[in-house]
């Protein structure tokens, strides 16, 4: 099984302050870069960064490829991925150019994840009818993939959303034929559709390892039995699942260090980040503290389904959330390993959790947790080869 980190960097304002303290955002980026550089030195395999817009405090990563470019210069081996680029509003050729540039800068360590993005945050950026934004996102992503896989002049395209002439897009991908392709899923039952497009899956562990196992099985079953229309020149047969949490020397210390930050992340994920979008008085941390004190729930102003609201209200206690010491971390990871998931990503930089605590968590993972699973990597690769022998499709993957 592979290991990685995942970032939607949170930058909360101080309670009852209208703005961030000077330098707060810059410090968050510097800490994130240092954490990923450290993860690389510890032997972590992947780092994925999301793309979000107009979600102050919850996710300050609107220019993912810029951050990945900076990371390309301070890391050596860790693979750097977009998890995900919004294909719904980004120009597809410009997206391909940026991913190819990242691939060149890293010497072939780029991973390309894409998807439509959530309606609330992408709507102000759309250039199409909002009711068709998912369809437009698919067409856009397909253009980016085709450009990345083109070794010469790309022939252009004309469809309901795009009209491009033949052009020779540079730089070219460093990897041949193109970087591995991914998308994310937000709820159970979506993985089969992802498999039909030949993409790798980025998914949450929130409901625990049993659901992860069911989703992994559904993904591989779809690859075996459904007609696969590959978006790229090969499938990326992989399921990565990510957990949010922190490991510390003891279970109690991990909870003390991380619980509020994990709860704030869950509050934002379940509607707090998209409530009152654009309202100058919106203050996510204040609204979270009010919710905790029983003084209202801003999330109800959104169209968030009731089960997701309930999940967000108990986020720190979900079976797929982790705040613990090394032994419980190893047991949690064994359960994920048994699901046949290909990778476990650690969601980092949540709430006001301290940089030094996240660095210690990474060190514990790298020195006390991951080594056990490295010893069994050959067994997992043998399992993968058996699954792939029943599929017979070309493969473009780093797993």
Nearest partner of 213 among 325, 334, 66, 122, judged by Cα: 334
Bridge partners, residue 158, by sequence: 163
Q: Which two tokens stand for residue 346?
A: 């650690």
Alpha helices in the chain (DSSP H): 24-42, 64-72, 92-106, 119-122, 133-148, 191-196, 209-225, 251-267, 284-292, 306-313, 326-338, 355-364, 370-374, 377-389
The total number of residues written for the chain in this structure: 399
The pLDDT score that the predictor gives to residue 349 is: 92
Element (H, E) at 158: strand 157-158
The pLDDT score that the predictor gives to residue 245 is: 86
Delineate the domains of the chain, giving CATH numbers in brackets.
2-251+328-389 (3.20.20.30)
C-alpha distances in Å from residue 4, one per residue of 1, 125, 211, 343: 10, 30, 20, 7
- DSSP code of residue 398: -
End-to-end CA distance of the chain: 9
d(CA 2, CA 190): 22
Q: Quick check: pTM over 0.85?
A: yes
d(CA 203, CA 183): 9
The pLDDT score that the predictor gives to residue 347 is: 95
d(CA 360, CA 366): 10
Q: Which are the contacts of 177, defined by CB distance < 8 A and separation ≥ 6? A: 149, 151, 232, 233, 234, 396
The CA-CA-CA angle for residues 225, 202, 73, to 5°, reads 130
Burial (CB < 10 A; 0-12, 13-18, 19+), residue 14, is middle
Answer whether the bond into residue 270 is a cis peptide, omega within 30°.
no
Rounded (10°) CA dihedral 266, 270, 274, 275: -100
d(CA 257, CA 246): 8
Nearest partner of 36 among 28, 27, 46, judged by Cα: 46
The CA-CA-CA angle for residues 354, 9, 37, to 5°, reads 75
pLDDT 10s per residue in the chain (399 long)? 999 999 999 999 999 999 999 999 999 999 999 999 999 999 999 999 999 999 999 999 999 999 999 999 999 999 999 999 999 999 999 999 999 999 999 999 999 999 999 998 999 999 999 999 999 999 999 999 999 999 999 999 999 999 999 999 999 999 999 999 999 998 899 999 999 999 999 999 999 999 999 999 999 999 999 999 999 999 999 999 999 989 999 999 999 999 999 999 999 999 999 999 999 999 999 999 999 999 999 999 999 999 999 999 999 999 999 999 999 999 999 999 999 999 999 998 999 999 999 999 999 999 999 999 999 999 999 999 999 999 999 999 999
The pLDDT score that the predictor gives to residue 199 is: 98
- DSSP code of residue 241: E
The pLDDT score that the predictor gives to residue 166 is: 98
d(CA 204, CA 199): 16
Nearest partner of 308 among 352, 350, 275, judged by Cα: 275
Contact between residue 240 and residue 47 where contact means Cβ atoms under 8 Å apart: no
Bridge partners, residue 48, by sequence: 6, 81
The pLDDT score that the predictor gives to residue 41 is: 98
Contact between residue 247 and residue 329 where contact means Cβ atoms under 8 Å apart: yes
d(CA 85, CA 75): 21
Question: Count of CB atoms within 10 A of residue 307's CB?
Answer: 10
């Amino acid at each position: 099984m592979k290991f990685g980190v995942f970032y939607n960097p949170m930058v909360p304002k101080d309670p009852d302050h209208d703005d961030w303290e000077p330098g707060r955002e810059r410090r968050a980026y510097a800490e994130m870069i240092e954490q990923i550089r450290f993860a690389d030195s510890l032997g972590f395999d992947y780092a994925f960064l999301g793309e979000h817009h107009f979600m102050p405090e919850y996710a300050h990563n609107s220019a993912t490829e810029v951050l990945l470019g900076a990371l390309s210069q301070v890391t050596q081996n860790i693979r750097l991925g977009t998890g995900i680029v919004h294909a719904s509003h980004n120009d597809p050729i410009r997206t391909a150019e940026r991913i190819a540039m990242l691939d060149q800068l890293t010497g072939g360590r780029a991973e390309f994840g894409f998807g439509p993005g959530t309606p609330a945050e992408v709507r102000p950026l759309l250039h199409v009818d909002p009711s068709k934004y998912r369809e437009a996102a698919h067409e856009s992503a397909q253009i980016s993939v085709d450009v990345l896989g083109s070794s010469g002049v790309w022939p252009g395209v004309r469809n309901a959303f795009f009209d491009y002439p033949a052009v020779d897009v540079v730089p070219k991908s460093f990897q041949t034929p193109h970087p591995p392709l991914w998308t994310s899923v937000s709820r159970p039952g979506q993985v089969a559709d992802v498999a039909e497009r030949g993409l790798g899956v980025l998914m949450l562990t929130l409901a625990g390892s049993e659901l992860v196992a069911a989703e992994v099985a559904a993904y591989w079953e779809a690859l075996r039995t459904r007609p696969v229309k590959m978006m790229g020149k090969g499938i990326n047969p992989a399921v990565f699942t990510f957990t949010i949490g922190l490991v510390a020397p003891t279970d109690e210390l991990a909870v003390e260090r991380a619980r509020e930050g994990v709860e704030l992340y869950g509050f934002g994920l379940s509607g707090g980040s998209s409530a009152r979008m654009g309202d100058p008085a919106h203050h996510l941390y204040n609204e979270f503290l009010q919710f905790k004190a029983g003084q209202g729930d801003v999330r109800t102003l959104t169209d968030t389904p009731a089960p997701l609201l309930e999940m967000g209200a108990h986020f720190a206690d979900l079976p797929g959330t982790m705040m613990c010491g090394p032994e419980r971390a190893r047991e949690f990871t064994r359960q994920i390993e048994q699901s046949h998931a290909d990778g476990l990503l650690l969601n980092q930089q949540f709430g006001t959790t301290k940089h030094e605590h996240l660095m210690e968590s990474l060190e514990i993972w790298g020195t006390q947790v991951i080594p056990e699973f490295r010893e069994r990597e050959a067994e997992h690769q043998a399992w993968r080869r058996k699954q792939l022998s029943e599929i017979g499709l070309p493969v473009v993957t780093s797993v």
